[in-house]
Copies of this chain bind each other. A is one copy, B any other.
Amino acid sequence: MKEFAEIQRIANEELQKIEWPAKPSGLYEPISYCLGDGGKRLRPAFALFACQLFCGDIQPAKKAALALEIFHNFTLMHDDIMDKADKRRGKPTVHLVWNENTAILSGDTMMALAYKTLAETNANVLIPALTLFNDTVIGVMEGQQYDMNFESRTDVQLEEYMEMIRLKTAVLLAASLKMGAICGKAKQEDADALYEFGINVGLAFQLKDDLLDVYGDTKTFGKNIGGDIVDNKKTYLYIKALELSKGTDKEKQLQHWFSLSTFDREEKIKAVTDIYNALGVKAIAENEMQKCYDKGAEAIDRTSLNKEQKNQLLSLANQLLDRKS
């Protein structure tokens, strides 16, 4: 049985081994660039890991795993255009190295290549694999739309936020696990339980992201602390803080800071973090993460996997949720 870290390494190797067509180079060079070393390869590793749990081998999920990672990177390429992001995994984004049209068209092609790779999955599981993939792709796009809608809204509720991160982040992680289960010929109930586990771990994963942005360690985080605050992002922490401070001065201060277009970066981060601290939103978010983790653990407990396999999944979740970056 392979460890998760080894599976991540294999997923990346398999991805690097793919030989994209040479021509037209304007289409395929940005794709190779985007899929180059750097990602954590969580999604394909989830698929391979789940497959191994049910059939003792990662091989049957290989094509589907690659499809998930190609799709994920396509969403990053297009999201980076929409967000006008200039860096991704420490490298300049495709729309900056080339141009927007190239990022649109190479991204479109990556989506098609994801489907083409998925279609090479064993024919006897292709229909459920394709159905899951289609619904996941559409879910991720709905999530991105809600995320964009939130930018111009000032009244986003926590429930809406949780639904947005479910779609934008959790469904793809959940689908990766379920995809592996399907390829590994798991029973329907086991595949569904892995999906439910994945949704909850995915939600907790995003909450961890929100927390790291404010409370992460500058040395290990890899990005600048406070990026979400600087960008006026409506994170769990911000929405919860607004909710708790309703009708008080703190609500007005928060709204004020999030309405400014020019400000001193460090001053804003400090002011907003002080409000978060005064309201105790860190502990509330951590508690919400724990609730998600517990729900995920319950789902795992219902599966027909053995004790050791269940522990492997829980330890994987712990690893993701205790991360420093």
Q: Inside 8 A of A104's CB, which chain B residues have their CB?
A: 78, 81-82, 104
**Which residues 46-60 of A sit at the B interface, judged by CB distance below 8 A?**
none
Contact code string A208-231 (vs B, CB < 8 Å = 1, else 0): 000000000000000000000000
| Residue A197, interface by CB 8 Å | no
Q: Which of B27, B142, B148 contacts A141 (CB 8 A)?
A: B27
A contact residues, total (Cβ < 8 Å) = 35
The answer for the CA separation of A149 and B23 in the assembled complex, in Å, is: 12
| Residue A146, interface by CB 8 Å | yes
**A24 with B109: in contact, given A101-B82, A104-B81, A119-B130 (CB under 8 Å)?**
no
Q: Inside 8 A of A101's CB, which chain B residues have their CB?
A: 81-82, 148
Q: Inside 8 A of A18's CB, which chain B residues have their CB?
A: none
Quick check: A142 and B24 within 8 Å, CB to CB? yes
Q: Inside 8 A of A107's CB, which chain B residues have their CB?
A: 108
With both chains docked as a complex, state the minimum distance between the C-beta of A99 and any C-beta of chain B, in angstroms. Answer: 10
**Which residues 22-80 of A sit at the B interface, judged by CB distance below 8 A?**
23-24, 26-27, 78
Q: Which of B23, B138, B145, B146 contacts A112 (CB 8 A)?
A: B138
Q: Which of B119, B135, B141, B149 contacts A108 (CB 8 A)?
A: B141
| Residue A144, interface by CB 8 Å | yes
- Which residue of B is nearest A101, CB measured? B82
Q: Which of B115, B134, B135 contacts A134 (CB 8 A)?
A: B115
| Residue A265, interface by CB 8 Å | no
The answer for the CA separation of A149 and B111 in the assembled complex, in Å, is: 21
Residue among A24, A130, A144 with max Cβ neighbours from chain B (10 Å): A24
| Residue A116, interface by CB 8 Å | yes
Q: Inside 8 A of A144's CB, which chain B residues have their CB?
A: 105
| Residue A289, interface by CB 8 Å | no
| Residue A137, interface by CB 8 Å | yes
**A27 with B142: in contact, given A104-B82, A108-B78, A148-B105 (CB under 8 Å)?**
yes
Quick check: B148 and A134 within 8 Å, CB to CB? no
Quick check: A112 and B141 within 8 Å, CB to CB? yes
Q: Inside 8 A of A111's CB, which chain B residues have their CB?
A: 108, 111-112
24 pairs, CB–CB < 8 Å, chain A vs chain B: A23-B142, A24-B142, A24-B146, A24-B149, A26-B145, A26-B148, A78-B104, A81-B104, A82-B104, A104-B104, A105-B141, A105-B145, A105-B148, A108-B108, A109-B141, A112-B138, A112-B141, A113-B138, A115-B130, A115-B137, A119-B131, A119-B134, A126-B130, A130-B130
